[in-house]
Structure 1
Amino acid sequence: MEALRGQDPAVIGEFTLLARLGAGGMGRVYLGRSPGGTRAAVKVIREDIAEEPGALARFRREVATVRAVRSPFTANLISASLDASPYWLATEYVPGPTLLRALRDGPLAPEACRGLLAALAEGLAAVHAQGVVHRDLKPHNVILAPNGPRLIDFGIARTADQTQLTRTGQAPGTPGYTAPEVLLGAEAGPAADVFALGATLAAAATGRAPYGGGEWPAVSYRVVHGEVDVADVDPWLAALIRACVAREPADRPTPADVVRRCAVSRSLTDLPTYRALQALAEQAPHDLPTATAAGLVPPTPTTTGRGRRRQITAAALAVTALTTTVALWLGTRDDGTAPGDDTAGGTQANGGGTTSSGVQGGEGGDGGEEATASGVRGGGEEVDGDETPTRIVETNPVRDYWDGSRCVGEDTQTEARLLFDVARDGNEVSVSFGHNDDFGSLEPPFLVTATVKPPHDIDPGTGRPIEGLFPNMGFGYVSDAWDVATDGHAQLTYPDDFPEAIPLTNDPGAWTVLFYAVEGPQNYVRIACSGFTVE
């Protein structure tokens, strides 16, 4: 939970805002209070992407899905506004830590794992009964509430009659929790949620990534060809987890079968080990005076509920994005090992960008990323006549990475008219790019931005890696955009020119630097990849 900032609204719809709960590629999530005193998680789509048809369609789909799913196992919809900007939805505020937060202190006790498995399976059964597939169940998206666990984040969930909006070549979900058939191109059905349930319980029972760490190709390969990690888990629980993550969807039990096989005799909320987890939850204010006294609300907010409308005027760039599917990575190399897996069994690593764990109301987007794209200045953006920052928005997993000697991942569209250079000097990195005079002129504006991402998922509260659950598939830290046609060569320095960046020494390993040609917040293409290693 974070304090509101000057640019945050004071009111959204009927809700007075008390704090920030988190952020993601689609927008921000706030703690709000209704006139009658009900607390809500209020998710607001960013105005600078609200005019993007794909982004608004995904948000409308999320609202429809949350409205369809009314269950004691989810955060139910309270209200929404989809007619005019700002677009927002409000769901019940659910107090309690996420399962991901709880696992930072080690695995759950066996009895708590059994109760959690039964409760989550019961929740999935209720969701599936309403024709909805969650598609992104994982420790991030489970809140351990005082009255029992809740499933959150239906940002990439789908009902049976909804159109597929995930981009071609992009599997929905999170590596290690996405079912093999989905990685290989099949539609995510109820059985895929059962797979994610089993993987989530493997993480809960061991405190480790269910299919090990490493980069996304290695993790995905082990999902398809390997075995889930249930070493040292109670044999009965290990057997049920293995059944849930069976390779063939037809071989997995239904959620009702899982509940029956758990045969719990005691409510999860009655277990002392579960109740003790409530101490990990942040204390949320109940009203505006309390929030103000806690420093979460500025004494004099500077914006209103509608915010400011932004108009992006950057010209189109003549570049075409090339993508490859995760299925291309799921074969073996000539030596028989998994692509991207250069150690026996892989190394434990974490995933993408700067995340806010436990964001309520859902920040999955397509591909389930939970990262915030930090301040990028767009060369042609105007608000009320003044130039203001524009942001490229992370709408899908970023699958390119630096392996210590070269870039690996999806195809990158080469832009021969530009020159790029990355050089590390101690605790700083020089990141430069500009026009290559040997290849003709550029038509202005020609916007380019750079991103620098650490090898592991970073806890925004500590600035250090979150212990080993996900490979890195986020933006990382994002520079201001630069018009290389007008302003010439850009000479940037990490961390100074990358907002919210962490020191290099906080996360040793192979760091990735990606360059993007930018047309709009959700319209950009990778044009170069490089990296460096921090010992």
Structure 2
Amino acid sequence: MDDLRPQDPERIGTYRLLARLGAGGMGRVFLGRSPGGRLVAVKVIHDEISEHPEALARFRREAETVRAVRSACTARLIDASLDASPYWLATEYVAGPTLGGAVRAGGPFPPATALLLCASLAEGLAAVHAHGVVHRDLKPQNVILSPQGPQLIDFGIARGFDQTVLTREGMASGTPGFAAPEVVLRNEAGPAADVFALGATLAYAVTGRPPFGTGDSAVVSYRAVHEDIDLAGADPSLAALIRSCVAKDPADRPGPAALIARCGVDSAIALDPHYRSLAEAAGAPGGGAPEPPAPEPAAPEPTAQLPDGGATTVPVAPRAAPAPAVPGRRGRLVRAVAVVCAMAAAGTAGWLLSSPDGTEDGGGGPGASGAASGPADRASASPSATAPAGPPDHIVGGDRVSQDRWTLSEDPDEAAQGMGSCDLGRLGLATSLPGDLHSSVSHTTGSDTATVTLRPENAGQGRRPDPYYVAVGVRPPHGTDPATGLPTKEVSEGIGFTSEPVDLYARWSKGGTIVLRYPEDFRAHLGGRTLDALPVGRDRGDWTVVLYHVEGAPDRYTSVVCNGFHA
């Protein structure tokens, strides 16, 4: 909760505004007080987007949805002004922390409390579905732990079972890691998609980690579609319950009523000691009260308020054409979501190497590229043009400036999930490969290490391709002193610490996976000296990880694509 700013109004309708509770792409949320003294959450749409029919339609639909859903598990609509600017709605103010904030502050839920939470959320969904509405964005950020029990908030993208989706063409709604496969692939959001989100939310509650890892939105969604949920360390019976909720096929998921029956709870969650300690910790407004319903952005941009820590793993989907970027500060993130809806990943969406036809949208920019600087160079560097020379022992950066730079998102919710993107400079320098590459970079917050994994998609199938040499550069946030190997005060501009070049297909017949471990597999070659890699914990900030195609000499390499992580 923040103080009002000079530009904020003193009143909205009959409500006196007391504080700022949140802000987003669509509007602002204020803590207000009615003439009779009731506290309300007042959501006001931004003036600059009130002229956009789509945004206004979404806002009006949210008010209609909250008005229609009358349940003990949801905040009630108190008042609204939807006919003239300023457009606003006021809902009941629910005191209590968000589930995300509670887990960050108090750690994972014990099994007994988690089971009560599951039953309560399922009961809330049953009430919402009974009104013919799908929430479509259930996640830890949208669950308030009130003293009476969990409350579902933020119906900004909710809709009726039979309503037309109000999203941009080719984009899915919901939050990466909590949106169900059918939402990601086809933007089909039915009641079963809410059950998937419930399972992912419960997984977060019992592990304290994002259910499908962290990283760029597109690749997190890719994991939700194709990979197992992260339940390491979870109680086995709870893990089985969660896995049934996040089944890839919506037909295999239990309905809310069946889920409540499976929980078999026989006491109220409000009486549970762990839950009560979290719900009561928020106190009264002004004394650490949590955030109320957060404003929904004008487009279904993915956000998540997730805990620091956990692994950042970035696998990559098969290649497809990029989606156009949406203008604005968060345009790169929106583009990534649009691409993954077509089951592809481009540029900021993760690590990607081009398809067999050699087409390339980009990904790495020129970075610290050596010889490859134009179409002719790219053609000569292609495996189909000339047989590549053997690799050097290492690559060198010297004083060469790399334009590839990964930065953590400026949005607090995205940053909490580890989302970020690369400043790509120019595009189009990546060379072609015989097939797609699946790759990842993993880092556990607080550790000194990271892991880079490379695997050709069709490893072991057919004839092994001609050698294609790659090296990985891991660049810390700051420069490296050639004399001591320690960080300097300047921002890092070189290629950082690099791995020894290796043939991408060296393990073709053994599964194809190549694993590089930072810092032990990395060195810096500066000023004629070879320096051991700096442990991650010695330089806090945004780390950039770049994959380079090496062309036979220490100074002949091309950045293919970049990613990174925050330490």
TM over 0.5: yes
- Answer yes or no: is the 8 Å Cα contact 1:107–1:207 preserved in 2: yes
Q: 2:419 aligns with which of 466, 472, 481?
A: 472
CA deviation after TM superposition for structure 1 residue 94, in Å:
0.3
Q: 1:367 aligns with which of 280, 296, 300?
A: 300
Cα contact 1:146–1:275 (8 A) shared by 2: yes
Alignment of 1:11 with 2:45, yes or no, is no
2:219–2:350: 8 Å Cα contact kept in structure 1?
A: no
Go from structure 1 to structure 2 and tell me whether the alpha carbon gap of 1:398 and 1:7 turns closer, same or farther (over 3 Å shift).
farther
Q: Specify the alignment match of 2:215 in structure 1.
A: 214
Alpha-carbon distance in 2 for matches of 1:261, 1:216:
32
Q: Which has the higher contact order (CA 8 A, sep 6+)?
A: 1
- What corresponds to 1:143 in structure 2? 144
Counterpart-to-counterpart distance in 2, 1:19 and 1:253: 41
Task: Specify the code of the residue in structure 1 equivalent to 2:30.
Answer: Y
- RMSD of aligned alpha carbons: 3.8
Identity of aligned residues (%): 53
Q: Distance in 1 between matches of 2:173 and 2:229?
A: 20
Q: CA deviation at 1:258?
A: 0.6
Structure 2 length-normalised TM: 0.58
Residue pair 2:142, 2:152 contacting (<8 A) in 1 also: yes
**How far apart, CA to CA, are the structure 2 residues paired with 1:93 and 1:51?**
28
Structure 1's 363 and 281: CA in aligned 2 closer, same or farther, altered over 3 A?
farther
Separation in structure 1 between the aligned mates of residue 154 and residue 136 of structure 2, nearest angstrom: 10
Distance 1:453 1:76 in 2: 42
**Per the alignment, do residues 261 and 530 of structure 1 end up closer, same or farther by CA in structure 2, a change over 3 Å counting?**
closer
SS in 1 for 2:408: coil
Is the 8 Å Cα contact of residues 42 and 88 (structure 2) preserved in structure 1?
yes
1:369-395: CA deviation from partner (whole Å, max 9, x where unpaired): 459xxxxxxxxxxxxxxxxxxx95758
Distance change (3 Å), C-alpha of 1:531 and 1:239: closer
2:408 aligns with one of 455, 477, 491: 455
The 2-side partners of 1:78 and 1:166 are apart by: 27
Q: How many Å separate the matches in 1 of 2:277 and 2:88? A: 34
CA deviation after TM superposition for structure 1 residue 266, in Å: 1.2
Deviations 1:34-64 (A, max 9, x none): 0011111000001111111121111111111
Q: Deviations over 1:297-352 (max 9, x none)?
A: xxxxxxxxxxxxxxxxxxxxxxxxxxxxxxxxxxxxxxxxxxxxxxxxxxxxxxxx
Q: Distance in 2 between matches of 1:55 and 1:282?
A: 34
Structure 2 vs 1, CA of residues 41 and 113 (structure 1 numbering), >3 Å: closer, same or farther?
Answer: same
Q: Note if 1:78 corresponds to 2:78.
A: yes
CA positional deviation for 1:30: 0.2
Kindly report which structure 2 residues correspond to 1:88-237, keeping only aligned pairs within 5 A, or say none.
88-104=88-104, 105-237=106-238
Aligned partner letter, 1:250? A
How many angstroms apart in 1 are the aligned matches of 2:301 and 2:160?
A: 17
Aligned to 2:334: 397
Report the Cα distance in structure 1 between the residues aligned to 2:353 and 2:36, rounded to whole angstroms: 54
> How big is each residue's C-alpha offset from its partner over 1:383-423, in whole Å with a ceiling of 9 and x where there is no partner?
xxxxxxxx957587352765899999xx9999xxxxx9999
1:94-148 Cα shifts (integer Å, max 9, x gaps): 0000011011132111111000000000000000000000111010100001100
Instruction: Say how many residue pairs are matched.
Output: 367
Q: Which amino acid aligns with 1:454?
A: T
Deviations 1:230-269 (A, max 9, x none): 2221221111111111111111000011111111011111
Q: Secondary structure at the match of 2:31?
A: strand
Asked whether the 8 Å contact 2:132–2:161 carries over to 1, the reply is: yes
Answer yes or no: is the 8 Å Cα contact 1:22–1:30 preserved in 2: yes
Contact 1:453–1:475 (CA<8 Å) still a contact in 2?
yes
**C-alpha distance in 2 between matches for 1:240 and 1:56:** 39
Structure 2 unaligned runs (5+)? 305-326, 337-345, 369-404, 424-490, 493-538, 547-560
Q: TM-score under structure 1 normalisation?
A: 0.61
Q: Name 1:32's counterpart in structure 2.
A: 32
Q: Which amino acid aligns with 1:509?
A: W
Amino acid at match of 2:334: P
Q: Does structure 1 retain, via aligned residues, the 8 Å contact 2:43–2:89?
A: yes
* SS of aligned partner of 1:8: coil
CA contact under 8 A between 2:97 and 2:145: conserved in structure 1?
Answer: yes
Structure 1 spans left out of the alignment, 5+ residues? 286-293, 297-355, 372-390, 415-419, 424-451, 477-502, 513-528
Amino acid at match of 2:285: A
Contact 1:41 1:360 in 2 (8 A): yes
Distance 2:351 2:187 in 1: 34
When residues 124 and 52 of structure 1 are mapped into structure 2, their CA distance, relative to the original with a 3 A threshold, is same
* Displacement after TM superposition at 1:366 (Å): 3.4
Work out whether residues 140 and 357 of structure 1, in 8 Å CA contact, stay in contact via their aligned partners in 2: no
Q: Is the 8 A contact 1:136 1:368 kept in 2?
A: no
CA distance in 1 between partners of 2:11 and 2:53 (Å): 26
* Partner-residue secondary structure (3-state), 1:36: coil
SS at match of 2:196: helix
Task: State the match for 2:558 in structure 1.
Answer: none
| Superposition deviation, residue 456 in structure 1 | 5.2
Shift of 1:172: 0.7
CA distance in 2, matches of 1:128, 1:217: 28
- What secondary structure is seen at the aligned counterpart in 2 of 1:90? strand
| SS of alignment partner, residue 225 of structure 2 | helix
Secondary structure at the aligned position of 1:454 is classed as: strand
- 2:334 is paired with a residue whose SS is coil
Q: Residues of 2 paired with 1:407 and 1:51: CA distance?
A: 41
Structure 1 residue 362 displacement after superposition = 4.3
CA contact (8 A) 1:398 1:474 kept: no
